[in-house]
Amino acid sequence: MEPQEQHQEPVNDGLQKQEQHKKHKEKKKERLLDFLRAAPSKAPWFSFSGAAFLTRLASLRTTNNPAASRRLPAFVRSVDWRALRAKCLALYAKCGLLHRAQRVFDEMPHPSTVPWTALITAYMDAGDLREAVHVARNAFANGMRPDSFTAVRVLTACTRIADLATGETVWRAAEQEGVAQSVFVATAAVDLYVKCGEMAKAREVFDKMRHKDAVAWGAMVGGYASNGHPREALDLFLAMQAEGMKPDCYAVVGALSACTRLGALDLGRQAIRMVDWDEFLDNPVLGTALIDMYAKCGSSVEAWVVFQQMRKKDIIVWNAMILGLGMTGHEKIAFALVGQMENCTHTGLIQDGRRYFHNMTKLYHISPRIEHYGCMVDLLSRAGLLQEAHQLVDDMPMPANAVILGALLGGCKIHRNTELAEHVLKQLILLEPWNSGNYVMLSNIYSNRGRWEDAAKLRLDMKAKGVEKVPACSWVEFEGKVHEFRVGDKSHPLSDQIYKKLDELGLEMKTMGYEPTTEVVMFDVEDEEKEHTLVHHSEKLAIAFNLLVTGPGETIRVTKNLRVCSDCHTAIKLVSRITHREIIVRDNNRFHCFRDGSCSCNDYW
């Protein structure tokens, strides 16, 4: 018993000291508030300690004490505070009295950087970022010279509302004042450019930084990943490792996101090893990125293991797992309503989808959101029930967005309803005039119907408007390197062997009855030339490369940025049978797991 008692005494002493310190702080707080309640009778005392008092009073955040907040204006008026305007402004700002803070500021003839910053910070703390940036613009127009703290605050506000013009003004002023070399200011500028999609400018600032911390590296890695530059994100992440810098959460999330985009599962596993496993289990942001990578790289078992082990699961974690299961064909485990509806869309369970949609309002009293309508429109469109889908779009309580109209247009292509496709496309062009996919899809419909002149006119219209078709790309990972392929690509060092392999596979497929689906080629050329084009699609080149460099029985993983065409889908099924390989292809719509001549999507994608 004695050891326990001896051990307990210092613990009790520590608790008593903490309690005494807490009571002491409360007493000081009460004395300050008592002083405020007694104002203005104690105004003379203010003359020799007003600055210190205002600083202490501001720390109380009197918004937590409404009575004190009401007395604050009378207290400030009771003293001669002209020499202490900045302190009074900070006091009002920290107490949330913005209109009074603004009034004090407006009475300042020549405000310095400190009151400008206090007012900007006050609006930011109140959540009024646009007004904060408006104040900042006025500050710079009036010749304010920012210090590092001001520059960081204003750059942060500009980042949150994506005001690139004002942010660049701040950054130029920071450079002129010599504070741009501060790691905090430079990182804030990097973050601004990243959020505004200006990756070249972000990289320029990053490269000029003399000292880069983990936050700066993470901002750049994450920026490349979120702005559609996965290869650059991974290159920078590897450079970060070479510099001996331990990555923070955002750098790891960016690297995993890049690996997800490229289907680079092995590189993702390398990134995971740089972080303590408990961080993935306790941090929903990291855990979601890891689940998403495993699921979208075709390893749903590993995704499920991570999900089960995670100790903190928010709604985003659940959604990542649900959607991952739905994409990989595990429909019986997709256990949320949206997951169920997504699953119905990709497996053709029309009646089930209708029932889920109907039950939302009738049984669960949940008003469908636009994403639920999108699932239902996609389901009906793919099933060929285009009029029903079109009617559902017209009956929606909210305007249709590009996702919903795109689903309807996709159904029109599958079922060759040119008239409805033209109607939908006109609406899509209004919503997103620079999206080449809309034009390409309608051009393919025209081509399938033999309307070559209309297809040609559409391409001319695209050219006149400066709309460029997004080139199809496929990626595969091999020995820690990502290999990229494009249609007809001959830049790869193994090109000769790749094309020879495709020719060999083509001969075997024809003996099995394969005939190229030339109608998916949008150009008005002879069938022989169409067939030649189809053979060299990017995913076929990627698969041929993998067959050359991997051993028998190894799984092949390919990632493509566009939807797999019907000809490639048929061909890959046959290749999986010929080579006795599992081939996993992730396009921009879902996963296709090809085994022994069949696909997990059941030819419904």
Whole-angstrom distance, CA of residue 260 vs CA of residue 225: 10
What mean pLDDT is predicted for residues 358-387?
85
Q: What pLDDT is stored for residue 441 in this prediction? A: 73
**C-beta separation of 290 from 280 below 8 A:** yes
Report the percentage of the chain scoring pLDDT > 70: 78
Q: What pLDDT is stored for residue 529 in this prediction? A: 40
Summarize pLDDT for 436-477 with one digit per residue, the tens.
Answer: 877 877 787 777 777 888 888 888 888 888 888 778 899 998
Q: Which residue has the higher pLDDT, 196 or 469?
A: 196
- pLDDT bin (cut points 50, 70, 90) of residue 432 is confident
- The reply to whether 103 and 177 lie within a common domain is yes
Q: What pLDDT is stored for residue 329 in this prediction? A: 58
The answer to whether residue 502 sits within a structural domain is yes
Report the percentage of the chain scoring pLDDT > 90: 31
Is it the case that residue 544 has pLDDT exceeding 50?
yes
- Of 471, 484, 599, 473, the closest CA to residue 545 belongs to 484
Is it the case that residue 39 has pLDDT exceeding 60?
no
Instruction: Quickly tell me which residue has 């920026």 as its tokens.
Output: 223
- Of 473, 483, 472, 471, the closest CA to residue 264 belongs to 483
- pLDDT bin (cut points 50, 70, 90) of residue 397 is very high
- The reply to whether 163 and 98 lie within a common domain is yes
Residues β-bridged to residue 486 = 473
- The reply to whether 91 and 182 lie within a common domain is yes
The answer to whether residue 221 sits within a structural domain is no
Where is average pLDDT lowest: 268-282, 339-353, 536-550? 339-353
Residue ranges of E strands in 457-571: 473-478, 481-486, 556-560
Task: Return the SS3 of 556.
Answer: strand
Is it the case that residue 41 has pLDDT exceeding 60?
no
Is it the case that residue 9 has pLDDT exceeding 70?
no
- The reply to whether 414 and 477 lie within a common domain is no
Is it the case that residue 526 has pLDDT exceeding 50?
no
Q: What pLDDT is stored for residue 297 in this prediction? A: 84
Q: What pLDDT is stored for residue 533 in this prediction? A: 59
Residue 377 CB partners (closer than 8 Å, separation 6+): 389, 392, 393, 404, 407, 408
Where is average pLDDT lowest: 78-82, 121-125, 357-361, 506-510? 78-82
Whole-angstrom distance, CA of residue 40 vs CA of residue 321: 62
The answer to whether residue 283 sits within a structural domain is no
- Domain with 396, as residue range(s), is 349-432
At 139, list the tokens. 């500050």
- The reply to whether 413 and 491 lie within a common domain is no
Q: What pLDDT is stored for residue 347 in this prediction? A: 52
The answer to whether residue 104 sits within a structural domain is yes
Whole-angstrom distance, CA of residue 359 vs CA of residue 362: 5
Q: What pLDDT is stored for residue 175 in this prediction? A: 92
The answer to whether residue 527 sits within a structural domain is yes
Summarize pLDDT for 73-89 with one digit per residue, the tens.
Answer: 555 554 444 556 667 77
Is it the case that residue 205 has pLDDT exceeding 80?
yes
Q: What pLDDT is stored for residue 337 in this prediction? A: 36
pTM of the model: 0.56
Summarize pLDDT for 117-153 with one digit per residue, the tens.
Answer: 888 888 888 888 898 899 888 888 888 888 899 899 9
- pLDDT bin (cut points 50, 70, 90) of residue 224 is very high
Summarize pLDDT for 86-125 with one digit per residue, the tens.
Answer: 677 777 777 767 777 788 777 777 878 888 888 888 888 8
- The reply to whether 415 and 482 lie within a common domain is no
Q: What pLDDT is stored for residue 219 in this prediction? A: 94
Output the CA torsion sign for 76, 79, 82, 87. negative
Is it the case that residue 201 has pLDDT exceeding 90?
yes
Is it the case that residue 281 has pLDDT exceeding 50?
yes
Q: What is the mean pLDDT of the chain?
A: 79
Alpha helices in 178-283 (DSSP H): 183-195, 199-208, 214-226, 230-242, 249-262, 265-272, 277-282
The answer to whether residue 86 sits within a structural domain is yes
Whole-angstrom distance, CA of residue 538 vs CA of residue 440: 17
Is it the case that residue 11 has pLDDT exceeding 60?
no
Q: Pick from 208, 226, 245: which residue ends a domain?
A: 208
When divided into structural domains, the chain yields a total of: 3
Task: Return the SS3 of 481.
Answer: strand
- pLDDT bin (cut points 50, 70, 90) of residue 335 is very low
- pLDDT bin (cut points 50, 70, 90) of residue 516 is confident
Q: How far is CA 263 from CA 98, 325, 348, 588, in A?
A: 50, 17, 27, 12
Q: What pLDDT is stored for residue 290 in this prediction? A: 93
- pLDDT bin (cut points 50, 70, 90) of residue 602 is confident
Q: What pLDDT is stored for residue 451 in this prediction? A: 84
Q: What pLDDT is stored for residue 16 in this prediction? A: 58
Q: What pLDDT is stored for residue 254 in this prediction? A: 93
Q: Pick from 208, 236, 265: which residue ends a domain?
A: 208
Task: Return the SS3 of 585.
Answer: strand
- Tell me the pairing of strands 473-478 and 556-560: antiparallel
Altogether, the residues listed in the chain come to a count of: 605
- The reply to whether 97 and 193 lie within a common domain is yes
* Sequence-separated contacts (24+) of 588-591 with Cβ below 8 Å: 588/560, 588/561, 588/562, 588/563, 589/563, 590/327, 590/346, 591/296, 591/298, 591/327, 591/328, 591/329
**C-beta separation of 443 from 522 below 8 A:** yes
Q: Which H or E run includes 573?
A: helix 566-579
Instruction: Quickly tell me which residue has 């000809």 as its tokens.
Output: 567
| Torsions phi, psi for 322 (to 5 deg) | -60, -50
The DSSP line for 483-502 is EEEETT---STTHHHHHHHH
**C-beta separation of 298 from 591 below 8 A:** yes
At 134, list the tokens. 């408006």
Beta-carbon count within 10 A of 4 CB = 7
Is it the case that residue 338 has pLDDT exceeding 70?
no
- The reply to whether 90 and 200 lie within a common domain is yes
Task: Return the SS3 of 69.
Answer: helix
The answer to whether residue 103 sits within a structural domain is yes
Is it the case that residue 200 has pLDDT exceeding 90?
yes
Q: What pLDDT is stored for residue 549 in this prediction? A: 95
Q: What is the CATH number of the domain that holds 203?
A: 1.25.40.10
Residues β-bridged to residue 326 = none
Q: What pLDDT is stored for residue 369 in this prediction? A: 85
Strand order in the sheet with 583-586: 481-486, 473-478, 556-560, 583-586, 591-595, 598-599
Whole-angstrom distance, CA of residue 150 vs CA of residue 543: 54
- The reply to whether 587 and 527 lie within a common domain is yes
Rounded to a whole number, what is the largest CA-CA distance in the chain? 103
Q: Pick from 403, 432, 461: which residue ends a domain?
A: 432
- The reply to whether 105 and 201 lie within a common domain is yes
What mean pLDDT is predicted for residues 537-544?
94
The answer to whether residue 553 sits within a structural domain is yes
Alpha helices in 1-143 (DSSP H): 2-38, 43-58, 66-77, 85-94, 98-106, 113-125, 129-141
**C-beta separation of 350 from 344 below 8 A:** yes
Distance of CA 534 to the CA centre of its chain: 33
Task: Return the SS3 of 475.
Answer: strand
Is it the case that residue 322 has pLDDT exceeding 90?
no
Q: What pLDDT is stored for residue 374 in this prediction? A: 87
